[in-house]
């Protein structure tokens, strides 16, 4: 069973959270509510999220301050943030949002289809990254566990490498299709850059696997997944 991605919805108004849930329910992912910046930061301590939808105008800790805390934490700094605001204060206000680490900035009332499409891109990228981490974990087991020798009941190294290669090929195919989709839809630069980063990590993992194939004359280290 494929694990669902979590999407964090942050807004101090319950009716706005309800509207967001209605728009994003079609994505069939796990939607998590937070009614304040403090509540959002608490949720981020324990769960991993694919993307954060963050209201700018909130009492107490506003969206900009909340984003600053998120970006300062190593665990959460790479999570995409989409700012939502009911008031357009002009270019300076928008620039402040991007400076705070937002990947996008949408003014209310927003087009439900556009918002859902943007969120779905980051969910797809998150799922591909999860698959990539799984492949990397299996590869590390092969490299570091048992010194390259199969344990009792485990697959032989050659068989495990073949399985890893097949799984990686499936992820590579999906990532390539996603990149083409982003090009066709003229997606925003942040999503395209994230997809390119994913492809670079896939390339590094493929090189490591190729180096482990018999006859290559050596082993390879697993590329960093940061």
Distance between CA atoms of residues 44 and 38, nearest Å: 10
Examine the pLDDT at 44 and tell me if it is beyond 90: yes
- Tokens 């969120």 label which residue? 119
* Bond into 131 cis (ω within 30): no
Which pLDDT score, from 0 to 100, does residue 199 have?
74
Sequence-ordered list of residues with C-beta below 8 angstroms from that of 82, at least 6 positions apart, any chain: 51, 52, 53, 54, 102, 103, 104, 105, 106, 115, 118, 119
Query: Which residues sit opposite 107 in a β-bridge?
Result: 85
Examine the pLDDT at 112 and tell me if it is beyond 60: yes
Distances (CA, A) of 213 to 134, 164, 202, 217, 223: 19, 11, 17, 9, 16
Summarised one tens digit per residue, pLDDT across range 149-188 is 544 444 455 666 676 777 777 777 777 777 676 665 555 6
Which pLDDT score, from 0 to 100, does residue 50 have?
94
Q: What is the mean pLDDT of the chain?
A: 77
């Amino acid at each position: 069973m494929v694990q669902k991605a979590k999407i964090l919805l942050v807004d101090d108004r319950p009716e706005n959270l309800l509207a967001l849930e209605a728009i994003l329910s079609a994505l069939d992912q796990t939607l998590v509510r937070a009614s304040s910046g403090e509540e959002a930061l608490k949720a981020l301590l324990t769960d991993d999220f694919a993307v954060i939808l963050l209201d700018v105008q909130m009492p107490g800790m506003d969206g900009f301050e909340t984003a600053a805390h998120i970006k300062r934490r190593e665990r959460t700094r790479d999570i995409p943030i989409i700012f939502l605001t009911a008031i357009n204060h002009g270019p300076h206000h928008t620039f402040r949002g991007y400076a705070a680490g937002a990947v996008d900035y949408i003014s209310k009332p927003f087009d439900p289809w556009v918002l859902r499409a943007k969120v779905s891109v980051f969910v797809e990228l998150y799922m591909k990254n999860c698959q990539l981490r799984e492949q990397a974990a299996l590869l590390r087991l092969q490299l570091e566990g048992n010194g390259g020798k199969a344990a009792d009941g485990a697959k032989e190294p050659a068989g495990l490498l073949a399985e890893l290669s097949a799984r990686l090929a499936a992820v590579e195919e999906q990532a390539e299709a996603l990149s083409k989709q982003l090009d066709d839809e003229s997606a925003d630069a942040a999503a395209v850059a994230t997809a390119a980063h994913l492809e670079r990590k896939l390339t590094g993992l493929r090189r490591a696997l190729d180096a482990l194939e018999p006859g290559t004359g050596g082993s390879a280290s697993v590329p960093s997944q940061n």
